[in-house]
């Protein structure tokens, strides 16, 4: 009897496709490699475009390494979005998002700082590793050097006598990519990836975003069970009823299977990247599962003497990006300038963001998002600059510059006096000799001049020379008639008022 029961239970276990994450140093070709695989393997089925923000996609291998391979063993799911920070967020929440990691290394540059970071993330995740030595098409490619340097991080590939498989590839030409895909399937077969489809669906949130057209969208990967429209779904921070299920191509589907990347519409609010989701019997049960509190207001910070505070409003396209940006900014040196994130949300920049920026004198940073027309108009009227970025590193550099500007010397203007223009003696290009009377304060050679006509500032210039009775002087008090040599972008006319002033930079 026990033997029969075991057999019955095993009938529900079916092979599932491997879920693969690709990590490595910036510019080593991760995105290019994924793009090549997607274009060749997905385009073969004439599937059309990939839905934006899906965050994962699925390919199918026509000739699997094992002749007995099932459909589940012919497919591979690639997680498309996580950088190191986003992948770390997933791992730190205890969710196993991937079965296999691909470490991409540039054959011309070998191991770099972010390569080492990626290795640490893969080790902590405890998943099998495949090394892809990329850019083999470039002059100077040295895969042996990359292999030697990996040894320092305890990564011993097979050619060096180790057990970790490695493939030499070119994401540009496609060299070695078929071998890499076959290797992924072999590793997956050795891992014996199976799941119970009879259990209630559960899995991991890979990415989330919010749009004005479709509301909250979450990309999920199932670990077990099947997902269907109408089910009540929830994580520890959000819940909802599944309204629409879409595959990675943006096509509506009636059911999602294990390892399949799927886009879900129906969450009441945006769940967090890396959270585990599951299906509930009803809304009340899903509500009772909520453990995380709503994000409060801005954190209370202690500002010491000599420190300044830079208030920020962050708007990003997806939760993974937002969390990654917040993590990177948190690690910036803040001895002199403290960063305070007043608001961090996904979605477009709106008028509420502009109003908050005005009230708090905050900087608005948008990452791969637009501002709606009302917000754009309000920002222009309130003279609020919206900074938009497509690369996290560019955004961080933009914040660094803001921090530096807080300690730049301030330009302080001091008004000295005013001259009433009585006569214009000579005009030559951008220079003039004019006569006038000091009617207020005093005037000084080498100072700045503001030309005012009918109460309106017409232009600015410099006082090159100052004379009284045709003799050069340094200063002249109120009541004196003087002649000045003026240089500027506006021609002076009789009866103009010349405001004389100085500007100097002072440390604030």
Helix (H/G/I), strand (E/B), else coil: 358? helix
| Count of domains for the chain | 4
Please check whether residue 293 lies inside any domain of the structure: no
164 shares a domain with 91: yes
Output the average pLDDT for the chain: 84
- Asked whether 342 and 289 are in contact (CB, 8 A), the reply is no
281 shares a domain with 177: no
- The residue among 193, 212, 231 that closes a domain is 193
Q: Tell me the whole-structure pTM to 2 decimals.
A: 0.65
133-161: per-residue pLDDT in tens?
Answer: 999 999 989 999 999 999 998 999 998 99
Please check whether residue 348 lies inside any domain of the structure: yes
Please check whether residue 177 lies inside any domain of the structure: yes
Which residues lie closer than 8 Å to 68 by C-beta, 6 or more apart?
Answer: none
283 shares a domain with 332: no
172 shares a domain with 40: yes
- Residue 350's nearest CA partner among 224, 452, 446, 211 is 211
446 shares a domain with 365: no
**pLDDT number for residue 1:** 40
CA distance 288 to 65: 46
- The residue among 193, 224, 243 that closes a domain is 193
- CATH number of the domain that 73 lies in? 3.40.50.300
**pLDDT number for residue 6:** 43
112 shares a domain with 31: yes
- CATH number of the domain that 221 lies in? 2.40.30.10
**pLDDT number for residue 301:** 58
Helix intervals (H) in 272-391: 283-288, 319-330, 351-360, 373-382
Terminal Cα-to-Cα distance of the chain (whole angstroms): 84
DSSP track, 211-224: ETTTEEEEEEEEEE
Please check whether residue 373 lies inside any domain of the structure: yes
Write out the residue range of the structural domain in which residue 278 sits: 202-288
337 shares a domain with 263: no
364 shares a domain with 245: no
175 shares a domain with 72: yes
296-308: per-residue pLDDT in tens?
Answer: 555 555 656 667 8
> Which two structure tokens, joined as six digits, stand for 300?
């209370």
173 shares a domain with 26: yes
- The residue among 388, 405, 422 that closes a domain is 405
Q: Kindly indicate the confidence band of residue 10, based on its pLDDT and cuts at 50, 70 and 90.
A: low
How many other CB atoms are found less than 10 A from the CB of residue 154?
Answer: 10
326-335: per-residue pLDDT in tens?
Answer: 888 888 888 8
179 shares a domain with 36: yes
491 shares a domain with 351: no
Q: Kindly indicate the confidence band of residue 47, based on its pLDDT and cuts at 50, 70 and 90.
A: very low
**pLDDT number for residue 347:** 87
Q: Kindly indicate the confidence band of residue 472, based on its pLDDT and cuts at 50, 70 and 90.
A: very high
257-288: per-residue pLDDT in tens?
Answer: 999 889 999 999 888 888 899 999 999 999 99
């Amino acid at each position: 009897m026990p033997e029969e029961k075991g057999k019955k239970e095993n009938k529900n276990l079916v092979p599932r496709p491997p879920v693969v994450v690709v990590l490595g140093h910036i510019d080593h070709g991760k995105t290019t490699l994924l793009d090549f695989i997607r274009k060749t393997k997905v385009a073969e089925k004439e599937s059309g475009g990939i839905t934006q923000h899906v965050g994962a996609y699925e390919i199918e291998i026509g000739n699997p390494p094992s002749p007995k391979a099932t459909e589940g063993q012919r497919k591979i799911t690639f997680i498309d979005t996580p950088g190191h920070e986003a992948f770390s967020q997933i791992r730190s929440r205890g969710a196993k998002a991937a079965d296999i990691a691909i470490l991409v290394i540039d054959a011309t540059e070998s191991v770099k700082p972010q390569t080492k970071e990626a290795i640490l993330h893969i080790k902590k995740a405890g998943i099998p590793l495949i090394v892809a030595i990329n850019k083999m098409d470039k002059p100077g490619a040295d895969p042996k050097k990359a292999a030697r340097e990996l040894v320092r991080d305890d990564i011993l590939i097979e050619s060096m006598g180790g057990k970790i498989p490695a493939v030499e590839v070119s994401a540009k030409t496609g060299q070695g990519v078929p071998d890499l895909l076959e290797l992924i399937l072999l590793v997956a077969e050795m891992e014996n990836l199976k799941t119970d489809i009879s259990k209630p669906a559960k899995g991991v949130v890979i990415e989330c975003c919010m749009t004005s057209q479709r509301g909250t969208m979450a990309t999920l990967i199932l670990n077990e069970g099947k997902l269907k429209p109408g089910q009540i779904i929830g994580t520890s921070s959000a819940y909802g009823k599944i309204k629409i299920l879409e595959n990675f191509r943006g096509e509506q589907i009636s059911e999602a299977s294990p390892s399949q990347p799927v886009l879900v519409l129906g969450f009441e609010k945006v769940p967090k990247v890396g959270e585990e989701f599951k299906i509930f019997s009803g809304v009340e049960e899903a509500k009772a599962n909520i453990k995380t509190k709503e994000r409060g207001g801005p954190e209370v910070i202690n500002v010491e003497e000599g420190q300044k505070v830079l208030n920020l409003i962050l708007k990003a396209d997806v939760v993974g990006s937002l969390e990654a940006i917040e993590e990177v900014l948190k690690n910036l040196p803040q001895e002199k300038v403290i960063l305070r994130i007043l608001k961090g949300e996904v979605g477009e920049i709106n008028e509420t963001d502009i109003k908050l920026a005005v009230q708090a004198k905050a900087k608005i940073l948008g990452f791969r998002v637009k501002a709606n027309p009302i917000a754009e108009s309000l920002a222009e009227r309130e003279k609020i600059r919206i900074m938009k970025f497509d690369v996290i590193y560019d955004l961080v550099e933009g914040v660094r510059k803001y921090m530096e500007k807080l300690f730049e010397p301030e330009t302080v203007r001091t008004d000295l006096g005013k001259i009433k223009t009585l006569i214009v003696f000579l005009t030559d290009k951008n220079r003039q000799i004019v006569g006038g009377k000091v009617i207020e304060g005093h005037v000084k050679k080498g100072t700045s001049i503001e030309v005012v006509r009918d109460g309106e500032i017409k232009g600015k210039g410099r006082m090159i020379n100052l004379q009284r009775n045709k003799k050069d002087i340094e200063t002249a008090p109120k009541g004196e008639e003087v002649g000045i040599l003026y240089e500027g972008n506006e021609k002076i006319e009789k009866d103009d008022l010349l405001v004389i002033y100085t500007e100097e930079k002072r440390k604030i």
